[in-house]
Structure 1
Amino acid sequence: MPCSSQQNQSGAAMIETVVSLFMLAVGLMGTLAMQVKGVNSNQRANLVTEANILAADMADRILAYNSDDIASDDDDYAGIYTGSGNAQDNSSCLDDGCDSSEQKTLDTYQWGQAVSSSLPGGTGEVQYADGVYTVVLKWSQSDTFVDSTCSGIGDDLQDTSTEKACFAYQFRL
């Protein structure tokens, strides 16, 4: 007894539909994964750019402070740490002119405010050794960028967290 072609293909359209929906779902999940990676990379790039700007800002402050006599840097900015929250706002000295101590205090306060407002959970510190300033910025970031550049910078960092992203900027006067 011959079989009709209609009976042989019973349910084939349903299987083709299920397979095509499965392939569409896999493709959409791949697209979603790429989108998430793109957003994370964009956020990481933004935070690294902010850290670079903040490090250059502190370098400019140090250079401006030492511009009168750059040959005799006395490492006044060494030891700045913004994570302690004890910097004083003495912007009142701007009216009459700040002396060197007031200027360093003002720079520390303003830079600390910029770090905490620009980087999530951000801390900044300045070290000085052998004529080289090192500006270190750390911030909270939940991806593989954590502790990316601060290994080998020094064991005397005040923010010892290894769960934060890190950016270091070194320069000589």
Structure 2
Amino acid sequence: MHGYAYGPSYTGFTLLEVLITIVIVALGLLGLGALHVRAMRDTTSAYLRSEATVLTQDIADRIRANLPYVRATPPSGNTTPLPYILELEQFSALAQPTLLCLSAYCTADQLETADLWQWREAVRSRLPSGQGKIVISSCVAPATGDSTECTTAAIRTWTITVYWDERIDPNKPEANCPAPHPEHPLFACLRVSVRP
């Protein structure tokens, strides 16, 4: 008897199957890589925002610690600026005080100067391109709760704003800032209001 030949029998994978598998695995790895990059960017953003939160809390605590000075009423006609004010223009130009009040006795105004300088140094060292400003955003009369002049014995509200650069792409904003930086509108920011 003659046997019938059915052709050669192939086992294993063909080259086409191997190439398709390689393409599918490569696409999966690219997706994982993109996911990892995004996770790292989000982690960095969360870290910088938590640093900014700690820094705003730090200066708020410093303001509260110097409460008698903060709540003092300037004498009538006094041109002394209100305490704990730091505009953006002053931020970089702030000079190191002669007394840092770390171990020596300080007056209240010396403590304010030391507090502002130490806070500025912390913002600059802990945030990329870090800057900050502190302004009095509102004043209310203690008895009535109505808005009043900030030069009286008003209850003052400070607004603390910290700016930093967390952009990966220098032309694309990474965060929306409610009070954009005048020179760097793409910077991220954190704003906190404090009423000691």
TM-score in same-fold range (> 0.5): yes
Q: In the TM superposition, what whole-angstrom CA distance separates every residue of 1:88-110 from its partner, at most 9, and x where no partner exists?
A: 23335555411122111101110
- Structure with greater Cα Rg: 2
Structure 2 equivalent of residue 102 of structure 1:
110
Scaled by the length of structure 1, what TM-score is found?
0.80
Question: In the alignment, does 2:41 pair up with 1:46?
Answer: no
CA RMSD of aligned residues (A): 2.9
Runs of 5+ in structure 1 lacking a partner? none
Query: Could you tell me how far apart the structure 1 residues matched to 2:114 and 2:190 are?
Result: 23
Q: Aligned letter for 1:168?
A: R
Partner residue of 1:146 out of 136, 154, 174: 174
Structure number with the bigger relative contact order (C-alpha 8 A, sep ≥ 6) is 1
Structure 1 equivalent of residue 160 of structure 2:
135
Query: Could you tell me how far apart the structure 2 residues matched to 1:92 and 1:129 are?
Result: 27
Q: Relative to 1, partners in 2 of residues 1:27 and 1:96: Cα closer, same or farther, differing over 3 Å? A: closer
Query: Could you tell me how far apart the structure 2 residues matched to 1:79 and 1:55 are?
Result: 13
Aligned pairs for 1:31-42 (under 5 A) are 31-42=32-43
Partner residue of 1:79 out of 83, 86, 93: 86
Deviates more, 1:96-105 or 1:17-26: 96-105
Structure 1 equivalent of residue 25 of structure 2:
24
How big is the shift at 1:146? 3.4
Structure 2 equivalent of residue 113 of structure 1:
121
Deviates more, 1:137-146 or 1:110-119: 137-146
Q: Relative to 1, partners in 2 of residues 1:69 and 1:33: Cα closer, same or farther, differing over 3 Å? A: closer
Q: Aligned letter for 1:136?
A: T
Query: Could you tell me how far apart the structure 1 residues matched to 2:70 and 2:192 are?
Result: 23
Q: Aligned letter for 1:4?
A: G
Q: In the TM superposition, what whole-angstrom CA distance separates every residue of 1:122-173 from its partner, at most 9, and x where no partner exists?
A: 001101121321110111111566342x32x4x8x6x541121111111212
Structure 2 equivalent of residue 124 of structure 1:
132
C-alpha contact (below 8 Å) 1:124/1:136 kept by paired residues: yes
Alignment length (residue pairs)? 165
Structure 1 equivalent of residue 192 of structure 2:
169
Q: Relative to 1, partners in 2 of residues 1:172 and 1:30: Cα closer, same or farther, differing over 3 Å? A: same
Q: Aligned letter for 1:146?
A: E
SS at match of 1:21: helix
Scaled by the length of structure 2, what TM-score is found?
0.71
Q: In the TM superposition, what whole-angstrom CA distance separates every residue of 1:36-88 from its partner, at most 9, and x where no partner exists?
A: 11111111111000000000000001111114674859841123446423232
Query: Could you tell me how far apart the structure 2 residues matched to 1:135 and 1:112 are?
Result: 12
